[in-house]
Structure 1
């Protein structure tokens, strides 16, 4: 039995599909099938029931799965640091997050990594919303995804490392009657129209928390999963929006949007790279270490400290602020 046999088995079990596992492992589907066949022959047990539409894990497979996952995690932790030069690294990594996050936060990181490691294929994917990014990590479509901390599902298989922070700003057109008002309270915007993110996006959860906390039933003028559209609709006076600071910074500087003078300290989040430890390949670990060591590649606002005493809005009063750390040392690919 080889580790690659267990890696293939775990990939199929977690993806629920031979074809998805083949894509995740950068193998042909026939190679995946042959690998599992050899493992089943060695164990003298069928691990999956195959049919034309899906594969179903057997009882023997369910018994093997936690042991295989544990062995792969232990092997990953023992991998030695490599002395390869950047151009000697080869492989493929699938990274991604929402379209807006890719555009505003992570694009420079992708570019810099690709220039530093020219022979690693960086497969950049975009998702429609935060929850989709988490699902793609769990199902094996992404090796690393960028998510707020804590991410929506809080599945224990996913681990995260903190790379920055963001704050939600409540923004309006400079022509809005409240644009220059000082010391506003939440009740002052209760009767306004709002341009909001669609449900499933973390900034919609933040705005919904704000409304619930202050007893506001918002009048929604429009909603979208497109940050650029929300920016534009707000600028042309369609309503008040809740935007991340990294998405509003340029328009605020240009005077095309104004942040209302309302305290949003409780609408902050940590930003992190999310992954499943035992699936992390050498090049995935390399990418994660690169991201952790290059905060200069992220927008300046993401490196500002969180407000004193900050805790995530989902945390109860008796819990400490959420801090995510990797399950293994990502500094050594």
Structure 2
């Protein structure tokens, strides 16, 4: 089994199309097809179901995909490790992050990294904590800035960034704003909630806080970005429970401390693979975070 066969296989699996994969790899379509057929012959099983419009993975293909991605990630890490020993950091840094993550200014950090290591290509992906944790564990991301996920503790390392309480946000004319006092999950149980997709860290933190308090709630308005959530609150269409630093993003809204949730909070971390699998680029980024921008403001502006 040759590495190029695995590279070709992963590209077709990602693009679900031979022509697009061939264009991205800058190889002929006939050469790509021959490479996939050679891999299927070696494994003695079809890896793709081919139609005139797209290709999809067979069960065997799905089984191979994760292993192929891990092998290619290890090969890339080996090349980068050798370059690092020679005093040159090059290759690629693949980074994931949640939006408006607390404890790190991602844009500033990446700008400083690019200045220090111009030969490293930066690839950034924004997604929810659950997806990011899976990507780091599978070797598709070097590291990610996300929210702590205890269920992945055996596969990932955590470097703490910050820990903050959750806060209720509402329109200034809402009944809760008039009271102006801290609120409990029990007092919010019957409210209409605006919240993020269940995979996002703030949603996970809020769900955990209400579960700990034994309170059921219904999310009527579900969004995938911070500003849409704030816009809905601005129109008094519901309330939200969000990380404390979100209150700075829309001063017109009323922020009320959330109490009665025990240890539930919003803990942001850097998610990394085990130390022996951490790429030189990821180690360099974390060293830069520790040395230069650990105290950088997070996404507090509008």
The reply on whether 1:207 has 2:210 as its aligned counterpart is no
Structure 2 partner of 1:235: 234
Look up the SS of the partner of 2:163 in the other structure: strand
The reply on whether 1:266 has 2:275 as its aligned counterpart is no
Instruction: Assess, with a 3 A threshold, how the Cα gap between structure 1 residues 227 and 50 changes in structure 2: closer, same or farther.
Output: same
Whole-Å separation in 2 of the counterparts to 1:47 and 1:294: 53
- Deviation of 1:164 (Å): 1.1
Give the alignment's Cα RMSD to 1 decimal.
4.7
- Deviation of 1:257 (Å): 3.4
Instruction: Assess, with a 3 A threshold, how the Cα gap between structure 1 residues 228 and 46 changes in structure 2: closer, same or farther.
Output: same
Instruction: Assess, with a 3 A threshold, how the Cα gap between structure 1 residues 83 and 264 changes in structure 2: closer, same or farther.
Output: farther
Instruction: Assess, with a 3 A threshold, how the Cα gap between structure 1 residues 262 and 55 changes in structure 2: closer, same or farther.
Output: closer
- Any residues of structure 2 matched to 1:279-298 within 5 Å, and which? 279-296=277-294, 298=296
Instruction: Assess, with a 3 A threshold, how the Cα gap between structure 1 residues 55 and 228 changes in structure 2: closer, same or farther.
Output: closer
Whole-Å separation in 1 of the counterparts to 2:46 and 2:290: 41
- Deviation of 1:241 (Å): 0.5
Structure 1 partner of 2:149: 150
- Deviation of 1:184 (Å): 3.6
- Structure 2 unaligned blocks of 5 or more: 34-38
- Any residues of structure 2 matched to 1:88-107 within 5 Å, and which? 89-101=89-101, 105-107=105-107
Whole-Å separation in 2 of the counterparts to 1:47 and 1:287: 42
Structure 1 partner of 2:157: 160
Structure 2 partner of 1:312: none
Whole-Å separation in 1 of the counterparts to 2:25 and 2:235: 49
- Any residues of structure 2 matched to 1:63-82 within 5 Å, and which? 82=85
Write out per-residue CA displacement over residues 246-299 of structure 1, whole angstroms, 9 at most, x where no aligned residue.
333343xx3533224535552224322223345533223212322233343543
Look up the SS of the partner of 2:241 in the other structure: strand
Structure 1 partner of 2:170: 172
Structure-1-length-normalised TM-score: 0.60
Whole-Å separation in 2 of the counterparts to 1:108 and 1:48: 48
Structure-2-length-normalised TM-score: 0.65
Structure 2 partner of 1:141: 140
Structure 1 partner of 2:36: none
Whether the 8 Å contact between 1:192 and 1:240 is mirrored in structure 2 is yes
Structure 2 partner of 1:309: none
- Deviation of 1:139 (Å): 4.0
Structure 1 partner of 2:253: 256
Whole-Å separation in 2 of the counterparts to 1:93 and 1:166: 26
Look up the SS of the partner of 1:192 in the other structure: coil
Whole-Å separation in 1 of the counterparts to 2:186 and 2:59: 54
Whole-Å separation in 1 of the counterparts to 2:135 and 2:188: 37
- Deviation of 1:163 (Å): 3.6
Write out per-residue CA displacement over residues 134-172 of structure 1, whole angstroms, 9 at most, x where no aligned residue.
233244432222222225x5173x322324123322222
- Equivalent pairs, count: 273
- Any residues of structure 2 matched to 1:209-228 within 5 Å, and which? 209-228=208-227
Whole-Å separation in 1 of the counterparts to 2:260 and 2:210: 13
- Deviation of 1:236 (Å): 2.7
Whether the 8 Å contact between 2:169 and 2:253 is mirrored in structure 1 is no
Whether the 8 Å contact between 1:235 and 1:257 is mirrored in structure 2 is no
